[in-house]
Structure 1
Amino acid sequence: MSDQNPTWISDWNPEDETFWNSKGKFVARRNLIWSIVAEHIGFSVWLIWSIVATKLPQAGFHYSTDELFQLVALPGLIGSLMRFPYTFAVTTFGGRNWTIFSASVLFIPTLALAYFVSHPETPFWLMLVVASTAGLGGGNFASSMTNISFFYPDRMKGWALGLNAAGGNIGVSSVQLLTPILMGLGIINLYQATPVGGVYLQNAGLMWVLPIAIAVFGAIFFMNNLTTAKASIKNQLAIVKRKHTWIMSFIYVGTFGSFIGYSAAFPLLLKTQFPAVTIGIAFLGPLVGSLARPLGGLLADKVGGAIITFWNFIAMAAATIGVLYFVGNKEFAGFLVMFLILFVTTGIGNGSTYRMIPSIFREQNLQKVKGQGDAARAVALKTAGIESGAALGFIGAIGACGGYLIPSGFGKSIALTGGPQLALVIYLAFYAACLALTWWYYLRRSPAAAGATSLAEARV
């Protein structure tokens, strides 16, 4: 790396063990740390409204239950859409450069929230626009995961991507744990001397201003761009034509989509179904889900992502049935336990499915050049790296749609039937479909499966 400038690294080869042990792992670790910091804050901003929406009626905002769920759901939709351009930004502008930009724009949703929640006369449509800007935080995941995938060797991607994702996912717990506390304090109240309806709602936005500044500073001074990660958007868009991009996108809606969707909806679901329970415990769900994500990646590294994903969907279905039973009987203890188990399974599934993606693209590209020599193999591996990096972001973008579909589904179910059971039944059916796809394409030992036996035989 002697020919690098302060921000760009031109000779990066993590698959070379000598290079990795002498230089690579230290640079990769530094970039991973600051990637986690920026992504953590991105997730926190993305899920701000999961807590704020529960306090709006108390502060004098006259929105219906369905409208409150819309405020929670819309950032999920915008976040998923933002992930598409964010996916290709790393290979166009550089991982460090894009982290600086993506962290800086988080000042928009936080300051906008701080201003408008101080005005109870704000019409619903305008508040919906303000909430939508929180989706900027959802885009960070795609660029962060794409970036980190280039820094680590294939044998360590499951652990590295799982750790990076978990660090970001825990941002959901951070915002759901800290926001209720700080909304009860006036120590960072800049807009008015007295709270609105007994709570300082504006603190939900202001509390993230300093952390965002720290993330921008860290990206500027401690992260790097990789010239080896440069690629044209046209080359990356080749993944759209790959069958497995769409199959894994569907499966990822079931894992990550469930995690972010349940995380967004859980506080408001608690408030509507168990009014006597404090929403302060809502952070436990995304916390256990986030902590379980590296475990899913680690298990996938050792056993195989498809095997872990298959059994995990069975566990998700069982936990969903448990939630259905206890919410119907209004038994809070059982409901909480089942939902926490459901969160754990979303985390494990997140890690295992994300581990499958690089392996699938690696195996497919190697199959194309089988028997053509080392030079062709090297080209295939480089192509696989570019395609899998793009696929990680693309699949993550589609998976994030769950952040909109699940809260919106709960809102509609409660509006139509008075409870969340209808939505849960639909989610259960979706897990069954994900289970079938995982088995058919990645576990079934048949030449017809995935077009080749390699994917069934490889540890995807």
Structure 2
Amino acid sequence: MNTTSSSRRAGRAGNGEWLESWNPEDTDSWDKGLAWRTLWISTFTLTLCFTSWFLASAIAPKLTNLGFDLSTSQLYWLTAMPGLAGGLMRLIWMVLPPIMGTRKMVTLTTVLLLLPVVGWGIFVQDPTTPFWVLLSLSFLSGIGGGAFSGFMPSTSYFFPRRLQGTALGVQAGIGNFGVSLVQLLTPWVIGFSLIGFLGSSRPMATAPGEPPKDVWYQNAAYIYIPFIIVGAVLAWTMLRSVPVKANIRQQFDIFRNVDTWWMTLLYIMTFGTFAGLSAQFGLLMKNLYGAGNPDIVQGTGAAAQLLVDGYSVPDPVKFVFLGPLVGAAARVVFSPLTDKFGGARWTLISGIGIVVSIGFTLTALRPDTSSAAALDAGFDRFLWGMLAIFLFSGIGNASTFKQMPMIFERRQAGGVIGWTAAIAAFGPFFFGIGLTIMSPSAFYLVGLAFAVLCVVVTWQRYARPGAPKPS
């Protein structure tokens, strides 16, 4: 019986890049080993895509400390541009899986990551680099963001519906760890030389009153090059492609389905929030409670006594990795629960949690600089509120990706996953622009109202008893 099963799988697999036929719902013919191998290799490369996508958010907060002459608005633009580029590129990547196939798409995408990574490594060493060059590198970082809308649909082709919540949650969740990884590794890898010919050290200003320290900031980018090369080789040599017949025009039939638009709103609430806050967390912390707030480091009167009274100015690089880490972990942990209990109820929990967390964080967006104790208390509320938002957005990231394969048939589900991911990827851009043109409090109030709307949609359409599309 094992021999028959093996031969059946071999016959369906074919000998080339493209599988001859593939039906994961048929347990007798489904090649479980190939499916999971595809998941792990594409997840490894997707993690690298996210590190590349959020490299600017890890580098930008310290550029002025390295001698770059950049305004606060320009720094927000550097962290916002990958979101704009990622969203635009996801509109391209979402149609690639049926056309290019998993093998070519994953390999080519991984190789393209070298463009922004090598570029950042070179130009971060020169403080005279024009702003437009840095902005161009931020745009190229969007390649890593675009990949998500290709990788996730192609992975969904390999798994039966009963396992798609787990498979997509694991891939997206571990991929999301790339955001936390780049922010966690950056302050460590810049502290020593990797290889001499990669560049020399530069002095970087630290906290007020402390002397500059030598750093190799190019390491923040160069450290990923060997892993990118390994990922590209693994993808080319070990991946296969599922035959899915759908040209670009056929893939656009998803827009005639109203649930495409409702799920887009919900994924903006979850992943748009996760990505937007991941990109802006460091700058927001710096400008509210750190060296970017002049009332703290250059104030007069009571504010001038803050440092004397014992207020420790937080270094964003020591905290910003926590948010993406919490969000990514929640996506991985809750994905199997969405397979067990359904996605809609977890999306509802996610939305309610986001509403409450935003409301709590709002109380900390106007720092009280009357005393060090008050400022410390405000920072604690800000940090815990932000981590709560990340937690519930991560839960929603898992649950929405369980819902989509249940609401749509297989080909359309892949397209909807790609489309919703593309629109939500604009999160870093809109968060960056929003925080540039309005106060943090006003911006969070807008986010609160939007989250309330999404909770109502989730309840009415998917989660209530007798809902039109229970999922």
Task: Find out whether 1:109 has 2:134 as its counterpart.
Answer: no
1:369 corresponds in structure 2 to none
C-alpha separation in 2, matches of 1:444 and 1:190: 61
Counterpart of 1:215?
A: 231
Which aligned pairs between 1:34-183 and structure 2 lie closer than 5 A? 34-183=41-190
Please state how far the C-alpha of 1:445 moved relative to its aligned partner: 4.9
Q: Deviation per CA, 1:158-201, whole angstroms, max 9, x where unpaired?
A: 01000010111000011000012112222245353332543322
Match for residue 365 of structure 2?
327
Quick one: distance in 2 between partners of 1:223 and 1:35?
9
Contact 1:73 1:404 in 2 (8 A): yes
Residue 258 (str. 1) matches residue 273 (str. 2): yes
Question: 5 Å matches for 1:295-334?
Answer: 295-329=333-367, 330=375, 331-334=378-381
Q: Which moved more, 1:400-409 or 1:81-90?
A: 400-409
Q: Give me the whole-angstrom Cα distance separating, in 1, the residues matched to 2:20 and 2:34.
A: 13
- Residue 404 of structure 1 is matched in structure 2 by 429
* Matched-pair contact (CA < 8 Å) for 2:199–2:216: no
Distance in 1 (alpha carbons) for counterparts of 2:158 and 2:146: 20
What does the per-residue CA deviation read over 1:370-403, in whole Å, with 9 as the maximum and x for residues that have no partner? xxxxxxxxxxxxxx21111111111110111112
Equivalent-residue separation in structure 2 for 1:196 and 1:408 (angstroms): 31
| Structure-2 residue corresponding to 1:2 | 10
Q: In the alignment, is the contact (CA less than 8 A) between 1:296 and 1:350 conserved in 2?
A: no
Give 2:216's match in structure 1, choosing from 180, 200, 204: 200
Partners of 1:114 and 1:232 in 2: how far apart? Answer: 38
Richer in helix (by share): 1
SS at match of 1:53: helix
CA contact (8 A) 1:357 1:391 kept: yes
> How many Å apart are 1:311 and its aligned residue?
2.0
1:394 aligned partner, one-letter code? W
Match of 2:441 in 1: 421
| SS of corresponding position for 2:220 | helix
RMSD: 1.6
Q: Aligned partner of 1:321: which letter? A: G
Q: Label 1:79 to 1:301 Cα distance change in 2 as closer, same or farther (>3 A).
A: same
Task: Tell me whether 1:346 sits opposite 2:353 in the alignment.
Answer: no
Structure 1: state its 5+ residue gaps. 362-383
Cα distance in 2 for partners of 1:430, 1:123 equals: 37
**Alignment size in residue pairs:** 420
Q: 1:303 to 1:2 in 2, by over 3 A?
A: closer
Is 1:284 matched with 2:322? yes
- In structure 1, the partner of 2:300 is none
- Tell me which amino acid in the other structure corresponds to 2:41: W
Tell me if structure 1 keeps the 8 A contact 2:46–2:175.
yes
Find the counterpart in structure 2 of residue 184 from structure 1.
191
Structure-2 separation of matches of 1:355 and 1:190: 47
Corresponding residue SS for 1:186? coil
Does the 8 Å CA contact 2:357/2:385 hold for their aligned counterparts?
A: yes
Residue 459 of structure 2 is aligned to residue 439 of structure 1: yes
Q: Distance in 1 between matches of 2:349 and 2:200?
A: 54
Return the offset for 1:433. 1.3
Kindly provide the amino acid, as one letter, of the partner of residue 91 in structure 2: F
Q: Is 2:259 the counterpart of 1:249?
A: no
Q: TM-score, length-normalised on structure 2?
A: 0.86
Distance in 1 of aligned mates of 2:442 and 2:100: 44
Task: Return the letter of the residue paired with 1:155.
Answer: R
What is residue 12 of structure 1 aligned with on the other side? 22
Paired with 2:421 and 2:197, the residues of 1 have a C-alpha distance of 36
> Is the contact made by 2:174 and 2:332 (CA closer than 8 Å) also made in structure 1?
no
* Closer, same or farther: CA 188–178 of 1 in aligned 2, 3 Å: farther
Q: Say which of 420, 430, 443 aligns to 1:395.
A: 420
Aligned to 2:302: none
Which secondary structure does the structure 1 equivalent of 2:29 belong to? Answer: helix
The 8 Å contact of residues 81 and 397 in structure 1, kept in 2 or not, is answered as yes
Q: Which residue of 2 aligns with 1:430?
A: 450
**CA separation of 1:398 and 1:189: change in aligned 2, threshold 3 A:** farther
How many Å separate the matches in 2 of 1:391 and 1:189? 47
Q: Any stretches of 5+ residues in structure 2 without a counterpart? A: 1-8, 205-213, 291-312, 368-374
Distance (whole Å) between structure 1 residues aligned to residue 446 and residue 21 of structure 2: 49
Q: Which amino acid aligns with 1:2?
A: A
CA distance in 1, matches of 2:79, 2:126: 19
* Greater Cα shift, 124-133 or 67-76: 124-133
C-alpha distance after superposition, 1:219-272 (max 9, x if no partner): 012211112x24222211111222111111111110000001111111112222
Shift of 1:302: 2.0
Contact conserved, 2:199 with 2:218, CA < 8 A, in 1?
no
Tell me the percent identity.
Answer: 35
Deviation at 1:16, TM superposition (A): 1.3
Compare 198-207 and 79-88 and name the one that shifted more. 198-207
Residue 328 of structure 1 aligns to a residue whose secondary structure is coil
Distance 2:139 2:457 in 1: 33
TM-score (ref. length: structure 1): 0.88
